[in-house]
Amino acid sequence: MLYGVDFMANNKMVVANLKMNMMVEDVASYLHQIASIDNQNVIICPTALYIPYFLNNNYHVGLQDIFFDSNLICTGEISANQASRIGITHALIGHSDRRIYFQESEQMIQKKLVECLKFGIAPILCVGETAEERGMMRTERVIKRQITSALRGIDKKDLIHVIIAYEPVWAIGSNSNGNTPSNKEIEDMAQYINGLIFQLYQVRIPILYGGNVDDKNVSSILENTSVSGVVVGGVALDPKRFLKVLNVIFAE
Ligand code: PGA
């Protein structure tokens, strides 16, 4: 079993979600520019096409999504079984892109999470409210529903391998106009999620924040004591800024 990396509760973690970005001719230069990264708490999630390049360069690699049943042979998908054999340690599950563009249901997300755990892949469960839900003061209710439905049937010995990423949909990427929650809002949500997990399982698991994190706001986001790390999208595409983010987080 792989189960991610040896994540220590007091270490910070960075997940880079590269989405569909980058053309193949740019991958070598990207890898060259980030070559100084030698940190087991940095997980890179490139488009599936480029995964071997990252694995061959000794990065910890995560999938951006995974199929929900390794026995059900399905066109166009990647199974957890295949992923673990090739050395993939993590998978994003339920990213808002998937929930929005593929209408991924909470039931489907739960199955994907179970499937990851079955094959020793650490699932990074993405949860987050839309602007509309936030406007209706439903944030906590939505997050609670997303988490409890995804964790249905998961026992404590598996739960400890799960990572939760709080990513408000309205703060993610190009749709966000640079908006992010305030520090206090991030801390409050991380605390809320910690409390919920503790109530259900009496343990703590890493809670990450994602949504417009960059080299300028990362240090204040990580001042939040309940936040164990960040998911970065846009800023990870610029090697210089990505390295700055890592420097802020990991510099002693
Ligand atoms: P962003 O993306 O950093 O560009 O907002 C984060 C994500 O989609 O996970």
Are 248 and 219 a contacting pair, CB within 8 Å?
Answer: yes
Q: Which amino acid type is present at position 250?
A: F
Which pLDDT does position 3 carry in this prediction?
59
Closest CA to 39 of 8, 70, 66: 8
Looking up tokens 């240090």 gives 219
Helices (H), the chain: 24-33, 51-56, 80-86, 96-101, 106-118, 131-135, 139-150, 156-159, 183-201, 218-221, 239-250
**Residues 6 or more apart from 139 whose CB is under 8 A from it?**
129, 133, 168, 189
Which pLDDT does position 177 carry in this prediction?
81
Which pLDDT does position 9 carry in this prediction?
45
**Cα gap 211→169, rounded to integer Å:** 8
Tokens of 72: 């059900």
Which pLDDT does position 40 carry in this prediction?
79
| Catalytic annotation present for 95 | yes
Question: Which member of 95, 104, 129, 161 is catalytic?
Answer: 95
Question: Which member of 115, 129, 167, 187 is catalytic?
Answer: 167
Q: Which atom of ligand 1 is nearest to the CA of 212?
A: 5
User: What is the CB neighbour count within 10 angstroms for residue 182?
Assistant: 9
Q: Which of 167, 169, 180, 217 to mutate to test the pocket of ligand 1 (most atoms within 8 A of CB)?
A: 167
Q: What DSSP element (H or E) covers 231?
A: strand 229-232
Global confidence as pTM: 0.95
Q: How far, in Å, is the centroid of ligand 1 from the Cα of 73?
A: 30
DSSP secondary structure string for all residues of 138-195: -HHHHHHHHHHHHTTT--HHHHTT-EEEE--GGGSGGGGTT----HHHHHHHHHHHHH
Which pLDDT does position 10 carry in this prediction?
54
Q: Which of 14, 15, 17 to mutate to test the pocket of ligand 1 (most atoms within 8 A of CB)?
A: 17
Which pLDDT does position 37 carry in this prediction?
83
Going by CA atoms, what residue is nearest to atom 6 of ligand 1?
A: 233
Q: Within the chain, what is the greatest distance between any pair of CA atoms?
A: 49
pLDDT, tens only, 154-197: 999 999 999 999 999 999 987 778 789 999 999 999 999 999 99
Residues of the chain with pLDDT under 50: 1-2, 8-9
Q: 238: left (phi > 0), else alpha (psi -120 to 50), else beta? A: beta
Which pLDDT does position 1 carry in this prediction?
42
Q: What is the CA radius of gyration of the chain?
A: 17
As for ligand 1, residues whose beta carbon falls within 6 Å of it are 17, 167, 172-173, 210-213, 231-234
Which pLDDT does position 194 carry in this prediction?
97
Are 213 and 248 a contacting pair, CB within 8 Å?
Answer: no
